[in-house]
Structure 1
Amino acid sequence: MHLYLTHPQVRIDPAVPVPLWGLSEEGRARAAALAAQAWPWAFRRIVASEEVKARETAGVLGAALGLAVEVRPGLHENDRSATGYLPRAEFEAVADLFFARPDESVRGWETARAAQARVLAAVGAALAEAPGVPALVVGHGAVGTLLKCALAGRPIARREDQPDGGGHHLGFALEPAGLRHDWRPMEMAPPGA
């Protein structure tokens, strides 16, 4: 089984492009608390999105586990550069439309269908490099939800999204493809760990 982990809380700065946001103090503390647990030692690879918040989360885990972080293209969050930062209420409304209309670009955002195909291909390519090696893939909430929907054979829907706040994981396999467990807070071990 592999694990897909979303980065925890970030420092929101409207003046900085979203992909360059880093972890907040709370997010960094949550990543450190996860790294101090015993169960992450089951994973022998850490693969991360190129975005700062994912790299920082992966870096905390990699340092604790003695693993190099493999940063890969294609794992980034859905492309929202057309709007950049949006205030919370506006962002949530646009995100609702992003999931509800997966084949349409909402306000210039990458479509959910395109983001799903991209992240599924990127995860598959990364894991194919070391078949059978349990990997921890560190990424983002929206594309993690799209990955979950694909692996579970479910339609793209916002109801599949992680709970608010980030910092959740889901268990999955690619061969055969399937979801092994649904979103759990990063502080909670996977079933059977």
Structure 2
Amino acid sequence: MSWCVYLTHPEVRIDPDVPVPEWGLSELGRERATKAVRQPFARDVRQVVSSDERKAIETAQVFAGHLRVFHRVYNFLHENDRSATGFLPPAEFETTADAFFANPGESVRGWERAIDAQNRVVNGIRSVLRQIPDDHPVLFVGHGAVGTLLMCHLMGEPITRQRDQKRGGSWYRFEKRWLMDQMGRHLAWTEL
């Protein structure tokens, strides 16, 4: 089997009047995504897969266009569902996100439960990988919270925010077979 990279979208244009899934990349985010195609992993990627949120699609399109590879979009790779609260000011968002990770079996303020988001993303990525040849390295472009939930699963650890990225536009590499076994692995985010 081959390997995968999970990459989070970089900076976005925040607009409280626009639903969060419709936010696109900011100028800085687009610049960082463009530079990311020079990462060591990029030259070997054979498939690009993203969530259907605009910021993830825009990031994925930079890679797919540069690498001239197929880009697939899947709804189930979206960020944890936070539509119950919509936009939250930064300090309030961070407090709510802390509670989301600290209480994975509970819905915090109507948000999707962390355990449900983790199961959705892990099972979704497994499903995608069944459709892709084993020798094709895959770039998954998604979001920070669900990327952290995936990382916790791959490491065989409980859900924790201690594994969260420090900044959007970070990535980690994992082996496809790690999704199939229960052995913990050590992973860490790398900023673009």
Which TM-score bucket, shorter chain as reference? Answer: over 0.9
Listed as ranges, the gaps of 5+ residues in structure 2 are none
Q: Which residue of 2 aligns with 1:95?
A: 97
Partners of 1:29 and 1:144 lie apart in 2 by 22
Secondary structure of the corresponding residue to residue 175 of structure 1: helix
Task: Give runs of aligned pairs for residues 112-127 of structure 1, distance below 5 A.
Answer: 112-127=114-129
Q: Which residue of 1 aligns with 2:145?
A: 142
Task: Give runs of aligned pairs for residues 13-28 of structure 1, distance below 5 A.
Answer: 13-28=15-30
Read off the aligned partner of 1:151 and give its amino acid letter: L
Q: Which residue of 2 aligns with 1:183?
A: 189
Q: Which residue of 2 aligns with 1:41?
A: 43
Per-residue CA shift, 1:122-164, capped at 9, x if unaligned? Answer: 111111101311100000000000000001000101111011x
Runs of 4+ in structure 1 displaced over 3 angstroms?
36-39, 176-181
Q: CA deviation at 1:37?
A: 4.7
Partners of 2:176 and 2:118 lie apart in 1 by 15
Read off the aligned partner of 1:142 and give its amino acid letter: A
Moved more, 128-137 or 22-31: 128-137
Listed as ranges, the gaps of 5+ residues in structure 1 are 187-193
Partners of 2:127 and 2:148 lie apart in 1 by 19
Q: CA deviation at 1:72?
A: 1.0
Q: Which residue of 2 aligns with 1:86?
A: 88
8 Å CA contact retained: 2:5, 2:139: yes
CA 1:176 to 1:158, structure 2 compared with 1: closer, same or farther past 3 Å?
closer
Partners of 1:7 and 1:181 lie apart in 2 by 18
Q: Which of 161, 164, 167 is equivalent to 1:161?
A: 164
Q: CA deviation at 1:176?
A: 3.6
TM-score (ref. length: structure 2)? 0.92
- Root-mean-square deviation (CA, aligned residues, Å) is 1.3
Partners of 2:50 and 2:16 lie apart in 1 by 24
Aligned residues: 185
Partners of 2:40 and 2:98 lie apart in 1 by 36
Secondary structure of the corresponding residue to residue 173 of structure 2: strand
Per-residue CA shift, 1:86-132, capped at 9, x if unaligned? Answer: 00000000000000000000000000000000000111111110131
- Aligned identity (percent) is 52
8 Å CA contact retained: 1:100, 1:157: yes
Q: Which residue of 1 aligns with 2:4?
A: 2
Q: CA deviation at 1:36?
A: 4.0
Q: Which residue of 2 aligns with 1:189?
A: none
CA 1:27 to 1:179, structure 2 compared with 1: closer, same or farther past 3 Å?
farther
Read off the aligned partner of 1:154 and give its amino acid letter: E
Partners of 1:52 and 1:66 lie apart in 2 by 20
Partners of 1:39 and 1:147 lie apart in 2 by 19
Q: CA deviation at 1:171?
A: 1.0
